Amino acid sequence: MKIKFKYCLLILLLAGAKLHAQSVPGYTNPVLRGLNPDPSICRVGDDFYMVTSSMYLYPGAPIYTSKDLVNWKMIGYSLTKKEHFFTDKNHASPMMYATTLRYNKGIFYMITTDVNGGGNFFVTAKNPAGPWSDPVQVDQPVFDPSLFFDDDGKVYYTRRGDFKNKDIVQAEIDITTGKLLTPLRGISKGLISDDTEGPHLFKREGWYYLTMGEGGSRALHMQTIARSKSPWGPFESNPANPVITQNNAWWHHIRALGHADFIDAPDGSSWAICLGTRHVDYDAFSAIGRETFLLPVEWKDGWPTVKPAYRYNLQINAPTLPLKPWATEPVKDGFDNTSLGLKWNMLMYPFTPWYSLDERKGYLRLKGTADSLHETKQVAFIGTRQKEMSGEFITAFEFVPQASNEEAGITVFQKSNFHYDLFITIRNNKQVAVLKKTVGDMVIEVASIPVTGKRFECKVVFDAFKYHFFIKQNKDWVEAGSGVVNLVSTEVASVWSGIFLGMYTTGNGKPCTNPADFDWTDIQFKEVQFEKN
């Protein structure tokens, strides 16, 4: 019996070892899906906080929190006030570039750039969920600013130098007034390329590290790093640069990795977050845009290293912090609250009250302005990030157009001249559903379907290659047509944003006679499985 017991114990141990080997710890990138470029991170105790760039969107610069670096929850926005968008500078199109988030002595700092007129500025908060302060303007205009709080109390402001030299410059800054205490001084012209941006300065074990994005923010994007015993340099280049990139193979599913920020976890592990894009195959562009990726980091001989497998594959087979996922967000929104959910954004700060949640309870009312999706200045649009390549977006709404200029419906929106729209309007004195495709200077209405009544349901079903548009007719879905994904991709549209799935109404030159009342939306995403590289 003893011999049999020993054999049984051995079999159980071997089975357990095999099971353990098969249960590889890990996670799937990206950890923030949909438009979330230029991520920046800080830690307060056991809590992590992250900000990403928001470009033209309002509210701007979303703030996320996590307990494990893998599961993130949006808790607010750092740009919510009229003052944050520098409306007094008389430019109607704010464009917020790369953000940096830092924490020092009980205060969070978010610094960014409005490249269309507001320049560099930062806002502060004691609670990262808000409220955030009025902007403190920094007296320099070029983009990608960062802050570093040194042990001796000095604060350093580091950014892209100018558009000609494309170098990195730095100065000490008065963190209360935004005034520079020293002249700006060049500290790097790049380590590999002649296109350097997105700098971050941090300190580790007596060394000052300067990490930068190089090679632009698309196919040649990479992250380099250098170190010095002084925050002013001279900086010694990492002999293994670039530390993060995927610019060596155009057929990989991940591209454009770079613009990274580094963080240490409470357990001593090190990590990098960076932007990147997903591609289903070798000739597919990115319509979703630049997302946030998480990469495990190992320090060797004073330099951070990232394994190639982590840079080439979406599945990261590496140990994580104890996972603490958040509750799943509902896919349906009935607009029953007094404020919009955090997932919703607009295309600029709303100067005029063109939307309401209380004029008709249980509905989102959009009042069509004279502006359209082609102008976007004050268009009545509310949308959310497309987070996966596959899924569907459905909405039910009521609308009674009075003329051919008035329309309301849904849109797959990349940019003012790159979007697909399915809407209700008037054509030849009849009420119809129209599918319109706008690609650059090509604008075409590809379908016109007669519809009756005032209540409608529209949906778009999409995969990695096409958007298919439907309208409900007598309880049946009728396809109005489709649009190719690549034609509204970020590469073709030449933008730094990503697709938003939204609802809108417009009078195309003058205000709409009637509002559009959206009853509910249902948005479901399905993750596309990728083969391992």
pLDDT tens-digit readout, 199-220? 999 999 999 999 999 998 888 9
66: pLDDT strictly greater than 60? yes
Give the CATH number, domain containing residue 353. 2.60.120.200
160: pLDDT strictly greater than 80? yes
Same domain for 299 and 266: yes
Same domain for 349 and 268: no
- Cβ pair 466, 483 in contact under 8 A: yes
What pLDDT sits at residue 307?
A: 96
Nearest to 292 by CA among 66, 88, 75, 476: 66
Quick check: is 302 in a domain?
yes
Beta strands in 246-321 (DSSP E): 254-264, 270-278, 291-300, 303-305, 315-316
pLDDT tens-digit readout, 478-491? 999 999 999 999 99
What pLDDT sits at residue 104?
A: 98
User: How far is Cα 230 from Cα 1, in angstroms, rounded to an integer?
Assistant: 71
Q: What is the mean pLDDT of residues 494-521?
A: 97
User: How far is Cα 37 from Cα 496, in angstroms, rounded to an integer?
Assistant: 8
Same domain for 258 and 140: yes
b/e burial code for range 384-406 (CB count within 10 A of at least 16 → b): bbbbbbbbbbbbbbbbbbeeebb
Same domain for 412 and 275: no
Domain endpoint, select from 288, 316, 344: 316
How many C-beta neighbours within 10 Å does residue 181 have? Answer: 14
Domain range for residue 109? 38-316
Q: What is the mean pLDDT of residues 309-322?
A: 95
b/e burial code for range 241-268 (CB count within 10 A of at least 16 → b): bbbbbbbeeeebbbbbbbbbbbbeeeee
Same domain for 205 and 61: yes
19: pLDDT strictly greater than 70? no
Rounded to the nearest integer, the mean pLDDT of the chain is 92
Question: Which residues sit opposite 503 in a β-bridge?
Answer: 382, 410
Domain endpoint, select from 263, 289, 316: 316
Same domain for 390 and 284: no
Report the predicted TM-score, pTM, of the whole model to 2 decimal places.
0.94
Cβ-Cβ contacts under 8 Å for 66 (sequence gap 6 or more): 47, 48, 50, 72, 73
What pLDDT sits at residue 16?
A: 42
Q: What is the mean pLDDT of residues 507-533?
A: 93
Same domain for 494 and 346: yes
What's the token pair of residue 68? 């494990």
Reported as a pLDDT band with limits 50, 70 and 90, residue 250 is confident
Quick check: is 66 in a domain?
yes
- Cβ pair 257, 246 in contact under 8 A: yes
Same domain for 492 and 457: yes
3: pLDDT strictly greater than 90? no
- Specify the residue for token string 């996670």: 27
25: pLDDT strictly greater than 80? no
User: How far is Cα 55 from Cα 85, in angstroms, rounded to an integer?
Assistant: 11
Same domain for 361 and 422: yes
Quick check: is 178 in a domain?
yes
User: How far is Cα 376 from Cα 372, in angstroms, rounded to an integer?
Assistant: 6
Quick check: is 31 in a domain?
no
Reported as a pLDDT band with limits 50, 70 and 90, residue 347 is very high
pLDDT tens-digit readout, 393-405? 999 999 999 999 9
Same domain for 423 and 291: no
What pLDDT sits at residue 344?
A: 98
- Specify the residue for token string 């007034």: 177
Quick check: is 207 in a domain?
yes
Same domain for 416 and 341: yes
User: How far is Cα 449 from Cα 427, in angstroms, rounded to an integer?
Assistant: 10
In this structure, the strands spanning 380-385 and 500-506 are: antiparallel
What pLDDT sits at residue 249?
A: 82
In percent, the amount of the chain with pLDDT more than 70 equals 94
What pLDDT sits at residue 352?
A: 85
Quick check: is 532 in a domain?
no
In percent, the amount of the chain with pLDDT more than 90 equals 84
Quick check: is 321 in a domain?
no
- Cβ pair 49, 41 in contact under 8 A: yes
User: How far is Cα 32 from Cα 435, in angstroms, rounded to an integer?
Assistant: 31
User: How far is Cα 26 from Cα 316, in angstroms, rounded to an integer?
Assistant: 5
Q: Per-residue DSSP letters for 418-480?
A: EEEEEEEEEETTEEEEEEEEEETTEEEEEEEEE--SSEEEEEEEE-SSEEEEEEEETTEEEEE
Same domain for 347 and 251: no
11: pLDDT strictly greater than 50? no
Q: Which residues are catalytic?
A: 38, 197
What's the token pair of residue 140? 């320099």
Reported as a pLDDT band with limits 50, 70 and 90, residue 92 is low
Which phi and psi angles does 97 have, rounded to 5°? -90, -160
Name residue 475's amino acid.
K
Domain endpoint, select from 292, 316, 340: 316
Reported as a pLDDT band with limits 50, 70 and 90, residue 88 is low
pLDDT tens-digit readout, 102-150? 999 999 999 999 988 889 999 999 999 999 999 999 977 789 999 999 9
pLDDT tens-digit readout, 357-409? 999 999 999 999 999 999 888 999 999 999 999 999 999 999 999 999 999 99
73: pLDDT strictly greater than 60? yes
Q: Would you state the torsion angle of the CA atoms of residues 182, 186, 191, 196, taken in this order, to the nearest 10 degrees?
A: 90
pLDDT tens-digit readout, 44-60? 999 999 999 999 999 99
Quick check: is 5 in a domain?
no
Cβ-Cβ contacts under 8 Å for 272 (sequence gap 6 or more): 223, 243, 244, 260, 261, 262, 263, 294, 295, 297, 304, 306
Of the listed ranges 5-19, 170-184, 316-330, 372-386, the one predicted with least confidence: 5-19
What's the number of domains the chain is made of?
2
Give the CATH number, domain containing residue 194. 2.115.10.20
User: How far is Cα 109 from Cα 126, in angstroms, rounded to an integer?
Assistant: 9
- Cβ pair 63, 75 in contact under 8 A: yes
